[in-house]
Structure 1
Amino acid sequence: MNFKSLPQLLDYFKEEKTCIEYYEQIRWNGNPVCPHCGSERVYRTNRGFKCANNECYKKFTVTVGTIFHNSKISLRIWFAAIYLATSHKKGISSVQLALDLGITQKTAWFVLHRIREMLKDKAPQMLGENKMVEVDEAYIGGKEKNKHINKRRSLQDRNLTNEGKPFTPKKTVVGIIERNGKVVLKHVPNAELTNMGAFISKHVAHGSTIYSDEAPVYTHLKRNYTHDSVKHALIIYVEGSVHTNTIENFWSVLKRGLYGIYHQVSEKHLERYLDEYSARFNTRRLSSQERFEKFLVDSESILSYKTLINN
């Protein structure tokens, strides 16, 4: 199999049996393991497998313990959804996915969130060991001029709108990106040192070269990094190798996707959308099939609907 488009993928996965055999090879490499107890002593049954461990002895299929867990949707539809969600640079909405795959919008919304669960970076690596790094923050939310008068920033000092609801500022996202490398994102309460410093220290190796803008929150970086900043306030955007254009370009893709495709993202689920955009960016150099298989390898994550809506 070497697919480069959705029709080629669907031509290969015409039957559910083909999908199951393919996923068994991806997940277990020919050696099934019981997802309940981890035993390799299993045998095949008419509908899947059964654990031979006397303390377990449970039945299971290849989808147990994965994002496909307890799903009534065929793997063929799931594979098409994964391809669409990971191939579109700015993402795909649940409304559009429902139309494309012939499922309900509610189902498509749940499918996309399970896919985002799969896209989480399970083993994040330190950035900046061999490349220059840029760090910046972005603010996600509607423009002030588009808001109702009683919800605009001018009422922040009062802390209450005319309707008695708390004022909600834009959501803060901090991003770290390697030039010609990977990006890591995190939603933080605000752009203060306690939030930004811990995140940078966790993901960037000490001694690395970091570039940022002139925001005071980044002045502490000189303690552990080679740090320089570009003076945006003076309308200076590039000084030799000192700039933040790489992360700014990423922000433009992220915001065009969030505003143009999803229109509005709740703070409750924002982190999941960040996982989606960073995963697509970090696999941009892989072929369609390589990206598809990589994500399937990381699909051992269970997300129930109850857990999703109650978080």
Structure 2
Amino acid sequence: MRYKAKSFIDLFNSLHDETSCREFLEYQRWQDEPICPHCHRQDKEHYRLKRQGLYKCKSCRKTFSVTVGTMFEGSHVPLRKWFYAIYIFLGHKKGISSTQLAKDIGVTQKTAWFMLERIRHELHGKFAVTFEDMTQVDETYVGGRIKGQVKNAQGRSLKKKVPVVGLLSDGKVQTFVTPDTSGKILKYIIRSLVKKGSTLITDRWHGYKGLNAEYEHRVINHSTGEYVKDGFHTNSIEGFWSHLKRGIMGIYHKVSRKHLFRYCDEFAFRYNTRHFTDVERFILFVMSTYKRIKYHDLIRLEY
């Protein structure tokens, strides 16, 4: 069954109950040929069991459904509510808080938070970025003010702030939450991802020194009011940082250190798919749901 929805209303008019949502998920993930999550065999002839949506593999003889091995497995929340949460979360430029989502779909705040964290977990590594041409690299610090510090003050203190490193090339961004922004860490990230000989654009932070031998390193001196030099700039990655911080401050208000990387993945995914329609972004996400994280694993994560 093909879906040609152009808007939120069109899509959710067709996903009116649990059966239609399951069939939609089956089409997006399997294209009408069920894939066993246990042995990965794809076959139209897998046995259809009496219970709707349940199959038995012809090869390994194990039973499965379209939700096995995905973020939806084991969830008591109906797929229709899941799809609403995913669509709104990905479509809203700055996301949605767990408190607001809980009100919208009629679940507890704890359940809404876990749903959003599962969605963020799915976004990690979802969009591959290639850095082999002109790459902007910058670092920022996310977190609250230190006591006695003036409002909106800039700083690199690690007492309450967490460093995040970002690389941007060809309109696509990738982020990394790091312990610090030392040259050792910055150079490791750059050398691991950016093709040798590429043009590298950074500010004058000392952690970037020593890259001239491997890259065409262009430096922008912000301390003198310089923001563009010979056509090179870091304005794009800095614009992404601005959007990330406004979203965290305006919607989420506060993000813990150990979960910050998920929020960075969230904003990076939206940024990288900003030219998609909301329906296209939703379908891209749904058709590639292959990760699952359990609640006890999520809360015991350590930074």
TM over 0.5: yes
Map of 1:222-241 to 2, 5 A cutoff? 222-241=212-231
Gaps of 5+ in 2: 150-156
**Compared CA separation, residues 96 and 281, structure 1 to 2 (3 A):** same
**Which residue is 1:24 aligned to?**
26
Say whether residues 1:52 and 2:43 are aligned partners: no
User: C-alpha distance in 2, partners of 1:277/1:128?
Assistant: 22
The Cα RMSD (Å) is 2.0
Q: Distance between the aligned counterparts of 2:104 and 2:189, measured in 1? A: 38
Q: 1:282 to 1:123 in 2, by over 3 A?
A: closer
Rounded to whole Å, the distance in 2 between the matches of 1:96 and 1:4 is 25
In the TM superposition, residue 246 of structure 1 has moved relative to its aligned partner by: 0.7
Aligned to 1:192: 182
For residue 167 of structure 2, what is the aligned residue in structure 1? 176
CA shift digits 1:125-159 (9 cap, x unpaired): 42133xx2211000011123577xxxxxxxx8xxx
Q: Is contact 1:214–1:229 with CA below 8 Å preserved after alignment?
A: yes
TM alignment of 1:55-70, pairs within 5 A: 56-70=60-74
Task: Structure 1: state its 5+ residue gaps.
Answer: 148-155, 157-166
Partner residue, 2:9: 7
Amino acid paired to 1:72: H
Contact 2:37 2:68 in 1 (8 A): yes
Question: In structure 1, what is the equivalent of residue 111 of structure 2?
Answer: 107
Deviations 1:104-131 (A, max 9, x none): 11111000011111212246342133xx
Task: State whether structure 2 residue 243 is matched by structure 1 residue 253.
Answer: yes
Partners in 2 of 1:145 and 1:256 — Cα distance? 21
Q: Does 1:81 align with 2:71?
A: no
Q: Distance in 2 between matches of 1:95 and 1:123?
A: 28
Match among 203, 206, 213 for residue 196 of structure 2 = 206
Task: Extract structure 1 runs of 4+ deviating beyond 6 A.
Answer: none
1:42-95 Cα shifts (integer Å, max 9, x gaps): 211122111223xx4222110010010111111111111111111111111101
Compared CA separation, residues 5 and 146, structure 1 to 2 (3 A): farther
Q: Percent same amino acid at aligned positions?
A: 44
The alpha-carbon deviation at position 192 of structure 1 amounts to 0.7
Residues 192-249 of structure 1: CA distance to partner in whole angstroms, max 9, x if unpaired? Answer: 1221111112222211111111111112221211111111111212223122111111
Equivalent residues of 2:55, 2:63 under 8 A apart: yes
CA distance in 2, matches of 1:46, 1:221: 63
Determine the C-alpha separation between the residues in 1 that align with 2:266 and 2:76: 24
Q: How many residues align?
A: 290
